[in-house]
A = this chain, B = another copy of it.
């Protein structure tokens, strides 16, 4: 592999000059620039990124921690992060938290020790305190899919309360009065916010929140499946179920169908997130769009702007959800 020295020798210039044309820094006359370019082409020169990193104290790598690599939710986010950063010639190092406190923390430290220029963190379990501290560290960090008070500037997140409102208002507008709610785990802020949206929507219509129609799930298919079994066993009537995400909605619907209940004729469903798959189930799931791809792109933009001084990228902290009406809610 040719080094910068070989190029400088062949072009008859100094190392510094080659470095200047490679990095487009400083002034170089067109003639020398041309000579250098010719030499680089002839030698098929590629800068050694490791040496660049060592000398410049920049690794050009961004660490991304996601809670899970599998599952339908993070793929689209990763896709946008990777696209945006690779276009800027930065590379993405991944680590997965596997929904486990120790592994999440370990992942962050792993990425930090790898000399990443910045971190994009989707933290599922890590405490607010830890994250605040992390953000005060040397390595710039942006949080995605989570809002932590005090470090608002570092958070890219969804207006979950509004999403909860949209979902529940929709079923209310369709005439439903007894509405069950399958929540995400309440230690998560987004789950609490979505639930709060639901409560507000009920309150708007003067409907009391009924604990018997509430179940705290885990944001997973299995959890939704189990939740539905529980709700049905309580003997309370309800005509609709609002789920805090699409995965739980899928599991809950599966439970209903297994029991011979018809969806939406017997029970209507609303999900949340708008993940790809439930468009292909029957009935097509009505849900709330969570623009996770856009949030991924924004997190990448934040890094580009804050760390690599690219001032021409747009940025936005908070995203608004939208209702996606399909076929899983019937009018009562």
A interface residues (Cβ-Cβ under 8 A, vs B): 46, 48-51, 53-54, 59, 61, 68-72, 74-76, 78-79, 82-83, 86, 91-96, 98, 107, 110, 113-115, 221, 225, 250-251, 253-254, 257, 276-277, 279-282, 284
In the bound complex, CA of A278 to CA of B302 (Å) = 36
Contacts of A48 in B (CB 8 A): 54, 115
Among B54, B79, B253, B276, which residue has its beta carbon within 8 angstroms of that of A50?
Answer: B54
A/B interface sample: 20 pairs, CB < 8 A: A50-B50, A50-B54, A50-B59, A70-B75, A78-B94, A79-B96, A83-B98, A86-B110, A91-B95, A91-B110, A91-B114, A92-B93, A92-B95, A221-B279, A250-B281, A253-B280, A254-B282, A254-B284, A257-B282, A282-B282
In the bound complex, CA of A49 to CA of B115 (Å) = 7
CB distance from A219 to the nearest CB of B (A): 14
In the bound complex, CA of A83 to CA of B110 (Å) = 12
The verdict on A49 contacting B113 (CB below 8 Å), with A69-B79, A253-B280, A277-B277 known, is yes
> Closest chain B residue to A79 by CB distance?
B69
In the bound complex, CA of A76 to CA of B69 (Å) = 7
CB distance from A86 to the nearest CB of B (A): 6
Main secondary structure of the interface of A (DSSP, over half): helix
Contacts of A113 in B (CB 8 A): 46, 49
CB distance from A43 to the nearest CB of B (A): 15
CB distance from A93 to the nearest CB of B (A): 5
Contacts of A74 in B (CB 8 A): 75
The 3 tightest CB contacts between A and B, nearest first, are A70-B75, A69-B79, A250-B280
Query: Is the CB–CB distance between A94 and B95 below 8 Å?
Result: no
> Closest chain B residue to A57 by CB distance?
B50
> Closest chain B residue to A61 by CB distance?
B93
Among B54, B69, B72, which residue has its beta carbon within 8 angstroms of that of A277?
Answer: B72
Query: Is the CB–CB distance between A68 and B79 below 8 Å?
Result: yes
Query: Is the CB–CB distance between A277 and B250 below 8 Å?
Result: yes
Query: Is the CB–CB distance between A95 and B82 below 8 Å?
Result: yes
Query: Is the CB–CB distance between B82 and A86 below 8 Å?
Result: no
In the bound complex, CA of A79 to CA of B99 (Å) = 12
Contacts of A114 in B (CB 8 A): 49, 91
Among B54, B78, B96, B284, which residue has its beta carbon within 8 angstroms of that of A70?
Answer: B78
In the bound complex, CA of A59 to CA of B50 (Å) = 8
> Closest chain B residue to A89 by CB distance?
B110
In the bound complex, CA of A95 to CA of B94 (Å) = 11
Query: Is the CB–CB distance between A251 and B280 below 8 Å?
Result: yes
Contacts of A280 in B (CB 8 A): 221, 225, 250-251, 253-254, 281
CB distance from A166 to the nearest CB of B (A): 24
In the bound complex, CA of A79 to CA of B94 (Å) = 10
